[in-house]
Amino acid sequence: MSFSFDEFVAAVRGAAKEPDPNLSVRTLLEKYVSDPSPIITHTPEDGEDEVMLFEDDALSIWRCRFRPHVIMPPHEHRVIAHIGTYSGEEKNILFRRGDGQLKHKTTKIVGPGDVLSLNKDCIHAVSANGDICSLSLHIYMGPLMKLKRGLFDWETGVKSDFSLENFDRLKRPASALPAY
């Protein structure tokens, strides 16, 4: 299969206009990550770790690289998200809120060819699993960068506004957290 990020974005935009956009987008993402070699070939080895490929009022499409040994802080998307990994393994640590705290719910490892869908109320933290970077395509069923979203403190569960400053402050080395 040939691949370009522009063609991928066009295909996702088309799928999002189908009668069941979530099913159509997820099915399309599964098709793309089932043969990861062409995507890997077109992914730069350096540069930004998180690259927005497209966003409008209905859809946001990102290419994400997560590095080993660093865990992105617990956060919410407020829209349904579909994550398709095409290299390495992405570790998604899912939480629920209870008694003012974050409670670990489960951990999902998304390997090459796998797709994970998260509901709009999901809170998760993300890292590469193992010793190599993970590469994935994230599709959000809404305008991710326009939404008021929250980040959550690891220890207290206190919600703060999603900002780059708060995001960087709440990143943790994997060794500083319990094994999830």
Domains defined along the chain, listed by start: 5-175 (2.60.120.10)
φ, ψ at 112 (rounded to 5°): -55, 130
What's the one-letter identity of residue 132? I
**Mean pLDDT, residues 75-99:** 96
Largest CA distance in the chain: 50
pLDDT cut 90: percent of the chain above it: 89
The whole-number pLDDT of residue 1 equals 66
- pLDDT at residue 113, as a whole number: 97
Per-residue pLDDT averaged across 142-161, rounded? Answer: 94
Task: Please report the pLDDT score of residue 106 as a whole number.
Answer: 97
pLDDT at residue 93 is higher than 90: yes
pLDDT, mean of residues 110-125: 97
Q: CA torsion 160→65→114→148, rounded to 10°?
A: 20
The pLDDT confidence band at residue 150, using thresholds 50, 70 and 90, is very high
What are the angstrom distances between the C-alpha of 156 and each of 121, 169, 179?
19, 14, 18
Mean pLDDT calculated for residue range 54-83: 97
What is the pLDDT, as a whole number, of residue 46? 82
DSSP 146: G
| Separation of alpha carbons 159 and 61, rounded Å | 25
- Mean pLDDT on 158-177: 92
pLDDT at 101 (0 to 100): 87
Does residue 46 or residue 83 have the better pLDDT? Answer: 83
pLDDT confidence bin for 176, thresholds 50/70/90: confident
Q: Which pLDDT score is estimated for 178? A: 83
With bands split at pLDDT 50, 70 and 90, how would you rate the model's confidence at 180?
Answer: confident
